[in-house]
Every structure is written in structure tokens, then in C-alpha cells.
Amino acid sequence: MNTTTTMNTAMRHWHLDRDAAGIAWAAIDVADSGANTLGSEVLREFGLILDQLNAQPPKGLVILSGKSAGYIAGADLEEYTRIETMEGIADIIRRNNALFDRLEAVPFPTLALIRGHCMGGGLELSLACRYRIAVDEPGTRLSLPEVMLGIVPGWGGMKRLPRLVGPAAAMDMMLTGKGIDARRAKKMGLVDEAVPPRVMEAAARNVVLSSAPAHRPPLLQRLLNGPLKFVVASGARKQVAKRARREHYPAPYAIIDTWQRYDGDWLRMPASDPSSLQSIFEQGTARNLIRVFFLQQRLKALGKQEIADFKPRHVHVIGAGVMGGDIAAWCVQRGMTVTLQDQTVERIAPAIARAAEGFGKKWRNDKREVRFALDRLIADPGGGGVAQADVIIEAIYENLEAKQALFRDIEQRAKPDAVLASNTSSLKLEDIAQAMEQPQRLVGIHFFNPVAKMPLVEVVRGAHSDDIQVTRATSFVHKLDKLPLPVKSAPGFLVNAVLGPYLLEAMRCVDEGIAPEVVDEAALAFGMPMGPIELADTVGLDVAMAAGKGLTDAAAPPRRLQALFDAGKLGKKTGEGFYVWQDGKPQKQSAAQVPAGLADRMIRPLLEATQRLVAEGVVADAELADAGVIFGTGFAPFTGGPLNYLAARKH
């Protein structure tokens, strides 16, 4: 940046320099951290920077990152978890709002030079600048993900973003938490320029010295941010209501209310309002969702242990059914080469066709990437890929003898250090490994359906599994951008073992005459993403029958389930199960009044199973159990997980 003067050397988290053109460059580089987060000390130092610059005004100020890992990852959430009082949280919000107001009001032009992830408070800081430039590369993403933590963009984002890009685009960002790339940010007016890395500093210098007016949205958007606010607010509430109930997730409703009634200034809202700061934090969802965030970070960290010389580039998948084909496609999307084996090319073809459709959606504007991806997915009916693969995943039907024969053959042909994994959901690894000369090589890598949507993968340790193989499998799952959950070999592991009793109890309710729609509504009202009867129909009643035999202590399956199974009515896959399915959706009648206690009755077996599995050591501790059940079943995240929910009820 051709700096000539270091303006301050005493700060731990910022470097401030002034170049020959008179531009000040403030680089955030949070000490003792791999990512930049905005804790109190970091923002206190930024206040000192503004003091210096106000005393000796520069020609302009550019705020950038001193790290290669990204721009600013948002607030320091750990700091929030250490604050015990509501007034302490309110003090931080007031202080940071005042600081960003100061930044917005300085008499010289300011610019945020965004390279890498710019999230939450990082984007709110950037919104307080006159200009923004985003570096156009894959790692650059801008987002306000607070709603996913049960909170709101409380440092000025709710007032500044709608003024900058219009309320419709702003609401979409704030209510979904989704990130956008540099080009999209430029198109919507969130940034002034999207530039390649090689010219980012020159572009920043040119823009900050340009004296160009700050961006304003078109007239219609300005009207929608003024006298026509009710139009956007009404539509937004209807959309949110389709996805989340206010009693479970109050934050999205608070965002709409705060913007519509208080111009995005959360601090002006009376404490008695259900959308106020006090109401949000006292309700508990925010605390639990922040807990879930840290649980997710813990799962991610499990896969970050690097194994010398283990860089999985070639994956061999055996079994080209829905599960195997989708595992293969996901590995390809993550840059790996995959050989996909089944008995004939004709059996493999549907999986490749399905993968091609998925690649086309992912890279709809880049046909070259689609072609490259298809080149990495290779039909291999003869199984020649076994000898070259770094990871071999078996995903054939659940038959012990077939799996034993397969692994007996595989271990003779695979590389000595290849990971040998079964995707079994119900068989014990020890039984499969009995046929192997080196049973320590076998681990479980258990994906969930649909592979592309389910974030969790169970990494299963058998009684004989080698530590290095388990660590390699965990690292592989992390490289797939999935959350690895270590579990011991036991029927159903964690996720299916807690789902089985839950689904069984729901079906018993149907046998007692309670309509499937009422059973499902009770679960939805509790906070589950899908009702248990619809879930059973979705995964298949044949799967439910097989799982029920191994995962519950029921002497016989529920009567209605048995009757549907005997009639070949297996749910969504056949067009009829508990529900009739049309165009991929269940045709439901309006649910009658939900009987009191119905949800508790169905959830209780799930809670008890989770407790038991922790006590038996199938999963290491309560935190990992909560994480696994949330990310593997969708168990109501606002509760913080089944065991956290159980503990809260006891208090």
C-alpha cells in the first residue's frame, strides 16, 4: 500500500499507517486468534484510531484485514456468553452503536476493503463506511447471520442496510442469514466495486479519493423504506411465518418489527415489547442457538486434525443406489475423483444422471465446471478403482453376508493406508469385520439421506478399529464440509437409535386412533422440522420396519405400519403410505385439536434414548449427543438439544 508512516504501534489488534497520498490504512489483525472478531478490546482500540484521525484528519480511511483468513467474522460470541446481566449486554450494544455512528459521521471519506468472510458485526462496521469494495474471489461472502443465532443485527445493520440496498433485499439477507458473493453484492448496491485481488488496494485508493456520493437505492426502494414500509413488513411476516413460529424463533419477527416501527434502532424499543432486547434474551432461544453454534464449532474442530500424508483425492463408492450415488456426487462436488461401482453400468447410470442434474443446478452459469465434475465421476462396474482409492465406502444393501464378502475382497486389493468404511446404518462393524484379515482397518462413515442436505455424518469406531483409521475418516468427513460425530459401534449408533423409539411412539398414537395429521402437528408445535409420520413416509415404511426390528424393544410393529407394509404402500416412494403423496408432497387433512401432552409423550422416548446412549458411552458426552441429535434429526434447535432441553425442564 506504499505506506510511509506508522501512526500507532501500541495497539494489539490494529495496525494504522498513512501512505504518501495521505490515506490512512487501518488493518484489523486480532491478536492470538486465527480470525478477526469484534470484542470489546478490539473495538476500544478502533475508537482510539478514530480519536487519532479526528485530531489529524487523513484524505481518507481504508479499513482492511491483516489476516489471510478473512475480513471480520463478526462479534466475539464467547464474550457475550460471559456476560451475566441484561444490562451488560445492553451496554455493549449501546457502546458499539455509538462507535459505528462516530465512524459514519467522520468528516473524511471511509472505505471497507472486504476480502474473505465479512459477517455480522463486520458487515455492520462496513455499512457505517461511506464506500465498500469487495474482492471478487470464492472466499468473499457478506452476510448478517445473527438471526441464525436467535439475535438481530443490533449494531446498526437494521437501519443502514435497508437504506443502502432497499428493504426487500435487506430483509432477505437479515431474515435468512444467507451470504452473498462480491458480484451479487455489487449488483444489489451493497458494495461500490467488486475487483480482483491484484488491484484491490489501487481500487480502494481511487474510490476513497473520488469524492463520489455514497450509493442510494432507486426511488421505489426509498419509498418502501419510508411511507410504504407496511407493504414490505407484511410480506416479510407472511414468509417468516411459513418457516418459524414466533414462540420458538422470535428474532426474525423482531427484525421486522424494529425496522418497521423504530427505523431499525433496537435500543428505542420498550422493554415490554416482545421484540425488545430484553424479551429476546430472556426468552432463551438466543442462548440456546448460540450454544448450538459452539456445538457446531466443536464438531468442525474434530475433523481438523491433520494426518501426515493423508490427502484424500480418490474415493471409491460401492453401491450406486440413492445413498451411494449421492455420496459419490457429494465427494465430486468437493473436488475429489470418484469411481462408482455396482454390478452393471446400467445400475450406475441413474446415479450419474442424478449427479449431472445436481451439478447443473450448482454450477448453472458455468458449464465448464459441470463438465469437469462429470469427468471426475467414473462408472466402474469392475471395481478397478479399489486399488487406487484413498477412501473406500461401501453403500450396498443391509445384508451381513454380502458386506462380509465384499470387505474380504476389498482388503486384499486396496492400498495399505486406504480408509475402508461401511455406510451401514443397522449392522455392527464387529460382525462385518469378522471376515477380514485386518479388522482394525474397518470404520463406519454413516451418511444421512438426503446427503446434500444433512450436515451430520457419524464416524463409527468398532471394537477393533484402528485409531489412525478413525482419525483419517473424521478428517475425510471434515474435508467434505460435513460435521463428523464420533460414535461407537452399537445398533443405530446415535441418530437412528433415538429416532426409532420416537417414530414408534408416534405410530402407536396412530394405532390408538389419533389422526396422522394431529400427531405431526403436535411435533411441529413442539419445534420439530417435520412430523414423525411424514418423516416415516419420507424415508420409506420398509426402512421403518427394518429399523424398528433392530432399534426398539417392541414385540411387534405398530398395526397400521404392518398393514401398509404388507400392502406395498411404502410412503413417498410408492405414492402412498400413511399419507397419499402427489408431486412429492403429502396430502394432509386439516389437523384437529392436538390433545394435551401428546408432544411430550412422543418426545419422551427420544430423550430417554439419548440419555441412555451417553450413559453407555456410544457418544462421549451430553454436548456431542445434543449436537448429533440436532444436526442428524433436526431436533428443535431453539431448545439447545434434547439433553439441554431436559435439564432446562428440571430447573
**Positions marked catalytic:** 425, 446, 458, 496
Tell me the HSE value of 433 on the side-chain side, using a 13 A CA sphere.
Answer: 21
Vertex 454 angle, CA 450 and 560, to 5° = 60
> Are 457 and 480 contacting, i.e. CB atoms less than 8 angstroms apart?
yes
Beta strand segments in 306-369, E? 314-318, 337-341
**Other Cβ atoms closer than 10 A to 511:** 13
Return the closest-CA partner of residue 121 out of 81, 149, 84: 149
DSSP assigned state of 416:
T
Return the closest-CA partner of residue 422 out of 438, 387, 398, 456: 398
C-alpha cell at 423: 455406510
Return the closest-CA partner of residue 424 out of 386, 462, 395, 382: 395
DSSP assigned state of 131:
E
3-state SS assignment for residue 545: helix
Query: How far apart are the C-alpha atoms of 470 and 606, rounded to whole Å?
Result: 27
> Which residues, in sequence order, are CB contacts of 612 under 8 Å at separation 6+?
none
Q: Which residues pair with 113 in a beta bridge?
A: 133
Beta strand segments in 466-579, E? 483-488
Query: How far apart are the C-alpha atoms of 623 and 606, rounded to whole Å?
Result: 16
State which amino acid sits at residue 348: I
What's 429-487 look like in SS3? HHHHHCCCCCHHHEEEEECCCCCCCCCEEEEEECCCCCHHHHHHHHHHHHHCCCEEEEE
Read out DSSP for 216-265?
---HHHHHHTTTTHHHHHHHHHHHHHHH--TTT--HHHHHHHHHHHHTT-
* Cα 259 from chain centroid (whole Å): 26
> Are 339 and 384 contacting, i.e. CB atoms less than 8 angstroms apart?
yes
> Which residues, in sequence order, are CB contacts of 493 under 8 Å at separation 6+?
425, 444, 446, 458, 460, 487, 618
